[in-house]
Structure 1
Amino acid sequence: MAGVSKCMKYSMFIFNFFFWVCGCIILGFSIWIRVSSAQQGIDSSMLGGVNLLIAVGAIIMILGFLGCCGAVKESRCMLMLFFIALLLILILQVTAGVLGAVYKPQVEAALNLTLSEAVNALQSTTGEYKEYQEEFQKLQKMYQCCGLKDGPEDWGQNFDKQKDICQCEVEKPSSSDLCTTYRSRYVYKKSCGEVIMKQVKDNLVIIMGIAFGLAVVEILGLVFSMILYCQIGSK
Structure 2
Amino acid sequence: MTEKICLNFEFKQLLKLNSCLMVKGANRIDQCFLKAVGAGVIALSSIVIHRSSQYGDLFLKGILTLPILILIAGLIITLLGFFGCCGAMRENTCMLYTYAVIVSVLFICELALGILIALYPEKARDQIKDGMVEIFEKYGKDDQSLTRSIDTMQTDLQCCGVNNPEDWRSEFHHEIPNSCCIDKGDCNRNNPNEIYQKGCYEAIESSLKGVTMALGITAIVLGIIQMFL
Against the structure 1 CA distance between its residues 18 and 101, is the aligned structure 2 distance closer, same or farther, given a 3 Å change threshold? closer
Q: Which 10-residue stretch deviates more, 21-30 or 90-99?
A: 90-99
Distance (whole Å) between structure 1 residues aligned to residue 27 and residue 81 of structure 2 = 10
The alpha-carbon distance between structure 1 residues 91 and 193, as it changes in their structure 2 partners (threshold 3 A), is: same
The answer to whether the Cα contact below 8 Å between 2:164 and 2:199 also exists between their aligned partners in 1 is yes
Residue 90 of structure 1 is matched in structure 2 by 107
Aligned to 2:32: 17
Tell me which structure has the larger Cα radius of gyration: 2
Q: Which moved more, 1:204-213 or 1:45-54?
A: 45-54
Which amino acid in 2 is paired with 1:142? D
1:140/1:192 contact within 8 Å kept: yes
TM-score normalised by length of structure 2: 0.75
Question: Which whole-Å deviations, capped at 9, do the CAs of 1:186-217 have from their partners, x for residues lacking one?
Answer: 11121111111223322321111211221233
AA aligned to 1:166 is C
Moved >4 Å (runs of 4+): 97-106
With over 3 angstroms needed to count, the CA separation of the structure-2 counterparts of 1:189 and 1:27, relative to structure 1, is: same
Distance 1:73 1:91 in 2: 28
In the TM superposition, what is the alpha-carbon distance from 1:98 to its structure 2 partner?
Answer: 5.8
Distance 1:184 1:145, change over 3 A: same
Identity of aligned residues (%): 21
Residue 61 of structure 1: which of 78, 86, 110 is its match?
A: 78
Residue 124 of structure 2 aligns to a residue whose secondary structure is helix
Aligned length: 206
Q: Is the 2:42–2:75 Cα contact (8 Å) retained in structure 1?
A: yes
Cα deviation 1:37-67 (Å, max 9, x = unaligned): 1223212433332222122111111210122
- Return closer, same or farther for 1:213/1:55 CA change in 2, 3 Å cut-off: same
Contact 1:148–1:191 (CA under 8 A) maintained in structure 2: yes
Is 2:39 the partner of 1:31?
Answer: no
Q: CA 1:198–1:184 in 2, change beyond 3 Å: closer, same or farther? A: closer
5+ unaligned residues in a row in structure 2: which ranges?
1-12
Distance change in 2, residues 1:193/1:91 (3 Å): same
Corresponding residue number in structure 2 for 1:141: 155
When residues 7 and 45 of structure 1 are mapped into structure 2, their CA distance, relative to the original with a 3 A threshold, is same
Residue number among 119, 126, 142 corresponding to 2:136 in the alignment? 119
Q: 2:190 aligned with 1:183, yes or no?
A: yes
CA RMSD in angstroms comes to 2.9
Residue ranges of structure 1 left out of the alignment (5+ in a row) = 171-180, 222-235
Structure 2 partner of 1:198? 206
